[in-house]
């Protein structure tokens, strides 16, 4: 059985730190839920050009990051489909750059929700995200905390 409070906290931390860092490494916006293409990464080896070798090596290092962002965006798409309000809360509170992020009180007021209701919807959405990440990544990223 899932510990919702701890799972939601782990998902929030993942979205604020890991996901944001990965998106910055790939120079893609964190709020865009369209998945990046993994097939655009080069797969061949360079023919003796040292500069090209360095570029390919750095792209090879980014492939796991791109895969993780791909899984994250797929999980966010799933949350958007099953819980649009929860997705909006996740986007506004955890995915936006710090200077554009809104407080939960401000968001609750603009959505016409009590702070308690907003926290409940946020917790549910974060748990949905955690479950989707576990499933989509085949357990490679498990944010779910069990009792």
- Among 29, 38, 16, smallest CA distance to 129 is for 16
Report pLDDT for 38.
47
What is the C-alpha to C-alpha distance for residues 96 and 90, in angstroms, rounded to an integer?
9
3-class SS at 125?
helix
36: tokens are: 């990046």
Residues 83-112: pLDDT tens digits?
999 999 999 988 887 667 788 899 999 999
State pTM to two decimals: 0.81
Question: Using CA of residue 7, residue 9, residue 12, residue 14, what is the dihedral sign?
Answer: negative
Q: Do 124 and 12 touch, CB atoms closer than 8 A? A: no
Identify the CA nearest to 127 among candidates 87, 93, 97, 91.
87
Q: What is the pLDDT of residues 5-62, one digit of tens each?
A: 999 999 999 999 999 999 998 888 888 766 555 444 445 554 556 666 665 566 567 7
């Amino acid at each position: 059985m899932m510990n919702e409070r701890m799972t939601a906290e782990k998902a929030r931390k993942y979205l604020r730190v890991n996901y944001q860092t990965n998106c910055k490494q790939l120079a893609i916006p964190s709020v865009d839920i369209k998945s990046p293409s993994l097939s655009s990464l080069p797969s061949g080896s360079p023919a003796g050009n040292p500069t090209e070798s360095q570029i390919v090596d750095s792209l090879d290092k980014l492939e796991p990051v791109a895969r993780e962002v791909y899984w994250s965006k797929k999980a966010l798409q799933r949350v958007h489909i099953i819980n649009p309000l929860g997705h909006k809360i996740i986007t506004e509170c955890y995915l936006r750059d710090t200077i554009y992020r809104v407080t939960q009180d401000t968001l609750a007021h603009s959505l016409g929700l009590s702070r308690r209701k907003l926290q409940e919807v946020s917790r549910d959405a974060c748990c949905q995200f955690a479950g989707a990440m576990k499933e989509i990544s085949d357990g490679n990223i498990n944010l779910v905390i069990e009792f």
